[in-house]
């Protein structure tokens, strides 16, 4: 706009000043001027007034209208006195709309064109009705005036042409500067800016996408970006672009494949949030013009990771709360039962005189108190062992031992309980089982817990089989039963502390629910494998694989003790249908 104002003001001021400077020379050559000549030179003050008007008000179109009126009025005044439509001044009417074209306004150009045509029509009518004053100029003088008119009009038209060219060049330069500013803005933003067709084809994408995805921008044009969208997210990606093309502002999150920094770095996916809105084309009312969409993409992988971390923390908190509930439900039963027996029978011993208890009865009550105390001690020991394992403070002491003898000993200890329950306990351990290196106390605890669980959950008339074999460098211990089995939902949670399959609060079997959890942790400390396979109503098979030579999980500490890691830190579940496996 400043360039347009300069193009309007500068030539008018220069033209007026030049005319006033030439006026004395004209008087010296011409002599006394006529009234028309004086009026023409006086009219040259109008451009100065127009320049002042524009500089004070800034009304560019209004100044062009006034300029058209002033130029048309001057031309008409000279033409009426010098021959009408045949006057040398009449050719200047052509310059009225040409000058108005510099305003870049259709209204001003239309007004100036109508004004010039009206002036031409008025001159013709005045000539037809002989209303023009008589022109006393001779043929030679008329020709000289005509040449002056044509030359001056040509020079003025040339000035208008140069002004138009200057304005065009200024406009192009400003447009180029503005485009470069937006280009620099797009290329220096951390978010990627892109322009799409309705079908997802990329027509433009900023260089930020190269940093985001690790590929050149050229490879993302066309369908290059779509090919990198995760297959599961492509419908949402295309739907968002289609909705935006219809005029709906959309936001969508999807995954994009990012190239690694080298051959050793795997290809991974990042989460991207894309906000897309319709791009208004110049021909938006033309149905033949396909609507386009402009989108801004931002890497939100860190935010997604934080959300997942929060979800995992929430899940861990819920699991901890559930474990606390199971602990309280289980311990309230396991602790009250032996404590009630101890208190009850001890009170009876205190009142033996009033109750007239004989020696055999006192011995029986003392034995019941001892059994209850032993049971209570085993419960507390199990809780303490589990807490040590989870905190990573449970220590194993590997040493050579014979696994067959330990296995037979454990089966003999539980044979009486199995016979009392009407269960057939079968052991299958080859004579040639090699000596293994491990913690014999932990090995016996593993066998006792597994066989005890199998006997507990097997109905009368069933069978429990304990088998051992060598496979490669591992001892494979398999404990199977024909008991009640475990449902698929509970199978996923087997080994969790204080958990028993079935309805936890409607307990059919005694126990704290720590048996398999302790077994799993002891197996993990030996760098072994633990797997449970079961079907409801068909029985359960537990497979434990222990290395024949157990190496300490970590180097010995300075105090000579073996430091271990807690099982949850060293292993994780791999859920499969009807199979929960925990491997080193």
Each residue's pLDDT tens digit, 49-86 = 888 999 899 899 999 999 999 889 888 888 888 888 88
| Confidence at 507, pLDDT banded by 50, 70, 90 | very low
Residue 182, classed as helix, strand or coil, is helix
Q: How many CA atoms lie within 13 A of 393 on its CB side?
A: 6
Range of lowest pLDDT (167-181, 380-394, 434-448, 557-571): 557-571
Which residues on adjacent β-strands are paired with residue 399? 438
Between CA 516 and CA 491 the distance in angstroms is 12
Band the pLDDT of 584: cuts 50, 70, 90. Answer: very low
Of the ranges 72-86, 171-185, 243-257, 267-281, which is most confident?
Answer: 243-257
* Mean pLDDT of all residues in 212-220: 89
Task: Note the pLDDT of residue 491.
Answer: 61
Looking at residues 221-238, what average pLDDT do you find? 91
Whether 161 shows a pLDDT value over 80: the answer reads yes
pLDDT band at 237 (very low <50, low <70, confident <90, very high): very high
- Residue 570's pLDDT band, with cuts at 50, 70 and 90, is very low
Closest CA to 574 of 536, 530, 544: 530
Helix axes 35-43, 2-30, angle to 10 degrees: 160
- Which tens digit of pLDDT belongs to each residue from 510-555? 544 566 777 887 888 888 888 888 888 788 888 999 998 876 554 3
On the CB side of 332, CA atoms within 13 Å amount to 9
Give the model's pLDDT for residue 255.
92
Taking only Cα atoms into account, the Rg of the chain, rounded to an integer number of angstroms, comes to 51
Answer yes or no: is pLDDT of 563 > 70.
no
187 versus 409: the higher-pLDDT residue is 409
Q: What is the mean pLDDT of residues 352-374?
A: 78
Helix (H, G, I), strand (E, B) or coil at 399: strand
Asked if pLDDT for residue 556 goes beyond 50, the answer is no
Q: DSSP characters for 433-463?
A: PPPEEE-HHHHHHHHHHHHHHHHHTS-TT-E
Burial (0-12, 13-18, 19+ Cβ within 10 Å), 264: exposed
Beta strand ranges found along 448-524 (DSSP E): 463-471, 474-481
Q: What pLDDT score was predicted for residue 383?
A: 67
pLDDT at 41 over 70: yes
**pLDDT beyond 60 at 566:** no
| Residue 234 · residue 252 · CB < 8 Å | no
Give residue 575's pLDDT band: very low, low, confident or very high (50, 70, 90): very low
The mean pLDDT value for 425-433 works out to 86
Is pLDDT above 50 for 560? no
> What pLDDT was estimated at residue 331?
64
DSSP label at 94? G
Q: Which residues contact 583 (CB under 8 A, 6 or more apart)?
A: 529, 530, 531, 571, 574
Percent of all residues in the chain with a pLDDT value above 90, rounded to a whole number: 13
DSSP labels for 322-361? HHHHHHHHHHHHHHHHHHHHHHHHHHHHHTHHHHT--HHH
In percent, the amount of the chain with pLDDT more than 70 equals 79
Q: Per-residue pLDDT tens for 3-18?
A: 888 888 887 888 788 7
Rounded to the nearest 5°, which phi and psi values hold at 559?
-85, 5
Residues 6+ apart with CB under 8 A from 60: 1, 4, 5, 8, 54, 103
Token pair 């009304």 in the structure block, residue:
59
Predicted confidence at residue 513, as pLDDT, reads: 52
Q: Residue 391 — pLDDT band, cuts 50, 70, 90?
A: low
Reply yes or no on whether the pLDDT at 132 is more than 70: yes
The predicted-structure confidence for 301-356, as pLDDT tens digits, reads as follows: 888 889 889 998 888 888 777 777 766 666 665 667 677 778 887 887 887 777 77
d(CA 207, CA 449) in angstroms, rounded, equals 63
Domains of the chain and CATH, by start: 2-182 (no CATH), 190-299 (3.30.450.20), 307-374 (1.10.287), 392-582 (3.30.565.10)
The structure tokens listed for 373 are 């105390």
The pair of three-digit structure tokens given for residue 102, joined into one six-digit string? 């510099």
Q: Global pTM?
A: 0.44
What's the pLDDT at 558? 36
Structure tokens belonging to residue 253: 């999150």
Query: Of 31-45, 179-193, 440-454, 551-565, which range is least confident?
Result: 551-565
Residues pairing with 541 in the sheet: 480, 533
Segment 112-134 shows an average pLDDT of 87
More confident residue, 379 or 218: 218
More reliable by pLDDT, 34 or 561: 34
For helices 359-391 and 301-350, what crossing angle results, to 10°? 170
- Average pLDDT over the chain, rounded to an integer: 78
Contact yes or no for 4/163 (Cβ under 8 A): no
pLDDT tens digits for range 252-274: 999 999 886 444 445 588 999 99
Residues 302, 571, 329: CA angle, nearest 5 degrees: 95
User: Pick from 391, 213, 175, 197: which is nearest to 294 by CA?
Assistant: 197
Better-predicted residue by pLDDT, 426 or 339: 426
- Report the pLDDT value the prediction gives residue 153, as an integer from 0 to 100: 84
* pLDDT score, position 15: 75
């Amino acid at each position: 706009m400043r360039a347009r104002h300069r193009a309007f003001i500068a030539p008018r001021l220069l033209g007026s000043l030049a005319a006033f400077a030439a006026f004395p020379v004209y008087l010296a050559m011409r002599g006394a001027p006529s009234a028309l000549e004086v009026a023409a030179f006086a009219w040259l003050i109008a451009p100065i007034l127009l320049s002042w008007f524009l500089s004070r008000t800034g009304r560019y179109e209004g100044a062009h209208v006034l300029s058209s009126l002033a130029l048309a009025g001057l031309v008409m005044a000279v033409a009426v006195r010098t021959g009408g439509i045949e006057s040398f001044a009449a050719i200047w009417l052509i310059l009225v709309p040409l000058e108005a074209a510099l305003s870049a306004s259709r209204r001003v150009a239309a007004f100036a064109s109508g004004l010039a045509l009206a002036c031409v029509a008025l001159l013709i009518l005045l000539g037809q009705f002989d209303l023009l004053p008589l022109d006393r100029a001779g043929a030679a003088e008329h020709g000289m005036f005509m040449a002056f008119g044509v030359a001056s009009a040509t020079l003025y038209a040339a000035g208008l042409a140069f002004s138009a060219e200057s304005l065009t060049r200024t406009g192009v330069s400003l447009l180029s500067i503005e485009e470069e500013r937006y280009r620099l803005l797009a290329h220096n933003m951390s978010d990627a800016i892109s322009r799409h067709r309705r079908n997802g084809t990329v027509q433009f994408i900023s260089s930020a996408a190269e940093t985001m995805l690790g590929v050149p921008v050229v490879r993302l044009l066309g369908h290059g970006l779509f090919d990198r969208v995760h297959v599961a997210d492509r419908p949402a990606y295309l739907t968002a672009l289609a909705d935006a093309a219809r005029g709906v502002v959309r936001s969508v999150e999807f995954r994009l494949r990012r190239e690694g920094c080298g051959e050793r770095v795997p290809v991974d996916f990042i989460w991207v949030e894309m906000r897309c809105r319709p791009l208004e084309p110049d021909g938006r009312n033309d149905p033949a013009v396909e609507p386009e969409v402009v989108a801004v993409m931002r890497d939100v992988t860190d935010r997604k990771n934080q959300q997942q971390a929060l979800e995992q923390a929430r899940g861990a908190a819920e699991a901890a709360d559930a474990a606390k509930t199971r602990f309280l439900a289980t311990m309230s039963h396991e602790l009250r039962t032996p404590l009630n027996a101890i208190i009850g029978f001890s009170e009876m011993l205190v009142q033996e005189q009033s109750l007239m208890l004989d020696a055999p009865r006192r011995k029986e009550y003392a034995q019941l108190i001892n059994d209850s105390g032993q049971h209570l001690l085993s419960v507390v020991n199990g809780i303490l062992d589990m807490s040590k394992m989870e905190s990573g403070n449970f220590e194993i002491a590997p040493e050579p031992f014979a696994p067959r003898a330990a296995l037979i000993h454990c089966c003999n200890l539980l044979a009486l309980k199995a016979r009392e329950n009407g269960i057939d306990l079968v052991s299958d351990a080859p004579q040639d089982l090699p000596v293994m290196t491990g913690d014999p106390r932990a090995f016996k605890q593993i066998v006792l817990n597994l066989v005890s669980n199998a006997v507990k959950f097997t109905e009368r008339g069933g069978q429990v089989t304990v088998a051992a074999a060598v496979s490669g460098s591992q001892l494979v211990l398999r404990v199977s039963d024909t008991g009640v089995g475990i449902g698929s939902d509970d199978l996923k949670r087997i080994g969790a502390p204080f958990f028993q399959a079935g309805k936890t609060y409607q307990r059919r079997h005694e126990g704290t629910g720590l048996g398999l959890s302790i077994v799993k942790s002891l197996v993990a400390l030996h760098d072994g494998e633990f797997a449970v396979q079961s079907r409801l109503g068909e029985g359960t098979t537990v497979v434990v694989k222990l290395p024949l030579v157990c190496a300490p999980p970590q180097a010995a500490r300075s105090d000579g003790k073996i430091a271990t890691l807690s099982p949850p830190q060293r292993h994780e579940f791999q859920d499969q249908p009807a199979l929960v496996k925990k491997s080193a």
